[in-house]
Amino acid sequence: MQIGPYKLSNNLVLAPMAGVTDRPFRQLCKNLGAGFAVSEMVTSNSLLWGSKKTLRRANHAGETEPRSVQIAGADPKMMALAAKYNADNGAQIIDINMGCPAKKVCNVMAGSALMQDESLVAQIVEAVVNAVDIPVTLKTRTGWDLEHKNALAIAKIAENSGIQLLTIHGRTRACQYRGDAEYDTIAQVKSEIGIPVIANGDVTSPEKAKYVLEYTNADAVMIGRAAQGRPWIFREIDYFLNTGKLLPEPPVLEVRDILIGHLKNLYEFYGEYTGVRMARKHISWYSKGQRHGAAFRKCVNNVETVKDQLNMVNEFFERLSDAQELAA
């Protein structure tokens, strides 16, 4: 798939997830087979651009190209300024968030709440596209609620305004994350617009990725929650799409090595205090479903230092590996 001048290595995309897809996680997923990743959303409120959190979210140092930064907000002028600011600071692609149902975002009429007001959508996308000379992409849901599924209308506005790629999460805003994602709306939009479409929602396995790509005829699939604690899902899907065969689960000691590498990058990126805390949710995800995982999580969530956290993770995975060898 191509976005402006950027040819992606495959059609597998890591979804933007606030609090999750920071630079260390994006780079890890890219190393393990994601062809593209979108940053966590950055506010369009310029008063916050100097904040530690926003600066970190806009930090792409050393990240494999292309670097896409997602912006969120509801004021066309502020969104245009935010796009320009991020483009001047290293973003190669700007993604506009009209897909996030979070209260914090929607209460100020941003994220997926914007889908209610199509003329405001047009003003925002036009303002952002005109503000920068890099590709602008848009992420939406299928509509506001089940009675107002206006993804197609939004897609046409986007295409006519110069948006170069559209991602659609197969749920309405009102659905939040409930129920199953539906792919009919994505298929319909794909058949009626000319720009590339990424299908998103509930892609949890190589087989599901193939199904969604075929069903919607989308150009790529985007994966969010299924990559939490399983960043190797991208290489599994890539392998399946290319060969029709499933890769075996990674051995426990490889999982340990991937996690330890991930943790070290988190400590470097956030520093010890925040790094240890950010690492907790990732450690929990990697250990989900593992033997004695619940007891391990209870203990590891209480440690405060890099040294203790690394030791505990190492010990847990080594014990798992020993237990597997004994059982074999």
Ligand X SMILES: Cc1cc2nc3c(=O)[nH]c(=O)nc-3n(C[C@H](O)[C@H](O)[C@H](O)COP(=O)(O)O)c2cc1C
> With contact defined as beta carbons under 8 Å apart, do 12 and 258 qualify?
no
Q: Applying CB under 6 A, which of residues 1, 12, 32, 41 lies at the interface with ligand X?
A: 41
Cβ neighbour number for residue 299 with a 10 Å cutoff: 11
Q: Does residue number 17 form part of the binding site for ligand X (CB under 6 A)? A: yes
Residue found under tokens 């405001």: 120
106 is catalytic: no
Cβ at position 148, least distance to ligand X in Å: 19
d(CA 228, CA 25): 9
Number of residues that bind ligand X (CB under 6 A): 22
Q: Applying CB under 6 A, which of residues 32, 114, 198, 203 lies at the interface with ligand X?
A: 203
> With contact defined as beta carbons under 8 Å apart, do 168 and 142 qualify?
yes
Cβ at position 115, least distance to ligand X in Å: 12
Cβ at position 18, least distance to ligand X in Å: 4
Cβ at position 166, least distance to ligand X in Å: 12
- Both tokens of 255, joined, read 């999982």
Q: Does residue number 198 form part of the binding site for ligand X (CB under 6 A)? A: no
- Both tokens of 7, joined, read 């040819």
Q: Applying CB under 6 A, which of residues 56, 156, 210, 225 lies at the interface with ligand X?
A: 225
Stretch that binds ligand X, among 61-69, 220-228, 240-248, 317-325 (CB under 6 A): 220-228
d(CA 130, CA 283): 42
In the set 29, 100, 106, 175, the catalytic residue is 100
For residues 62 to 101, the per-residue mask of contacts with ligand X, x marking binding by CB under 6 A and - elsewhere, is --------x--------------------------x-xx-
Stretch that binds ligand X, among 28-36, 185-193, 221-229, 245-253 (CB under 6 A): 221-229
- Both tokens of 183, joined, read 């792919």
Cβ at position 183, least distance to ligand X in Å: 12
Q: Of the two residues 40 and 75, which places its CB atom closer to ligand X in the complex?
A: 40
Cβ at position 90, least distance to ligand X in Å: 19
d(CA 326, CA 310): 24
Residues 160-179 that bind ligand X (CB under 6 A): 169
Q: Does residue number 20 form part of the binding site for ligand X (CB under 6 A)? A: yes
Q: Does residue number 110 form part of the binding site for ligand X (CB under 6 A)? A: no
Stretch that binds ligand X, among 15-23, 28-36, 114-122, 187-195 (CB under 6 A): 15-23
d(CA 2, CA 168): 17
d(CA 71, CA 8): 21
Please name every residue paired with 223 in a beta bridge, in sequence order, or none if there are none.
Answer: 14
Cβ at position 188, least distance to ligand X in Å: 19
Q: Applying CB under 6 A, which of residues 139, 149, 230, 256 lies at the interface with ligand X?
A: 139
d(CA 255, CA 250): 6
Compute the CA torsion angle 203, 243, 166, 229 (nearest 10 deg). 40
> With contact defined as beta carbons under 8 Å apart, do 34 and 14 qualify?
yes
The alpha carbon of residue 89 and the mean position of all alpha carbons in its chain are separated, in whole angstroms, by 20
d(CA 6, CA 143): 29
Q: Does residue number 202 form part of the binding site for ligand X (CB under 6 A)? A: yes
Largest CA distance in the chain: 64
Q: Does residue number 280 form part of the binding site for ligand X (CB under 6 A)? A: no
Phi, psi angle pair for 64, to nearest 5°: -60, 135
The closest residue (CB) to ligand X is 224
Query: Which residues are at the interface with ligand X (CB under 6 A)?
Result: 15-20, 40-41, 70, 97, 99-100, 139, 169, 200-203, 223-226
Q: Mind telling me the catalytic residues?
A: 100
